[in-house]
Amino acid sequence: MKSKSRDQSLSDSRADSRELDGSYDPLTGNPSSNQKKKSIKQRFLKLLPCCLSSSAPSLRQNSMVEDGQLSALSSRPEGLDQMLQRCSFSRAELQVLYRGFKNECPSGMVDEETFKTIYSQFFPQGNSSSYAHFLFEAFDTNKHGAVSFEDFVTGLSIILRGSVTDKLNWAFNLYDLNKDGCITKEEMTDIMRSIYDMMGTCTYPCMQDDAPREHVENFFQKMDMNHDGVVTIEEFLESCLKDESIMQSMHMFDNVI
């Protein structure tokens, strides 16, 4: 009986994986007829140059994952039905995303260096390494040093299908690099420099040396309502919700997938 139970568990696990990648139709038990492959790079990485314009602190050095550790972290995604309950994507959309993720990250996890390499392909004219680091840490919510498919889908669901408040909370978390509940000028300066580094020669007019500092000052003039030198989540939400241009930017990715 134990052997049969183990075999059944393995069978169910394989079915979950095949159901996610579209190679198995849960209704008929047959291979799916729709197996178009779209790269995760096309589906996701070009979506996120910089949701707003904001903040950033120092790079952390403890998020690197050695090859052996990444293998140990390799995991099979949870079942499709469970994931449907946790995100705002349809069954078909999840299957497309999973196929792309699996194609780029066969282990089921993506480490920071791989993430940076993929992201850099969309900004060949600049250096996207610092911004990709900040973005990676926003997706790596469990601080494992690697992003799973579940991490990826959860974040992407907020960015593309979440409410305005959900999106703003996610953006605040991206900018609050040390996760202490407020954005400092130092953090914002790091973020702005990383964005300018990423855009490289594409900025117009050409970037002046003091451009990141000016953006930071403008940000704090608008957001730091009590002038204490930091921006809290409450100040951030209130300021953004009153800003028409920011509100429009919150909907720019609504129909991407």
Tens of pLDDT, residue by residue over 55-83, are 333 333 333 333 334 333 445 556 778 88
Distance CA 105, CA 167 (A): 26
Q: What is the pLDDT of residue 225?
A: 96
Looking up tokens 């953090």, which residue turns up? 187
Q: What is the mean pLDDT of residues 9-38?
A: 46
Rounded to whole angstroms, the Cα distance separating 210 from 17 reads: 50
Q: Model confidence over 169-211: pLDDT tens digits?
A: 999 999 999 999 999 999 999 999 998 888 876 655 555 667 8
Torsion from C-alpha of 181, 133, 86, 98, nearest 10 degrees: 180
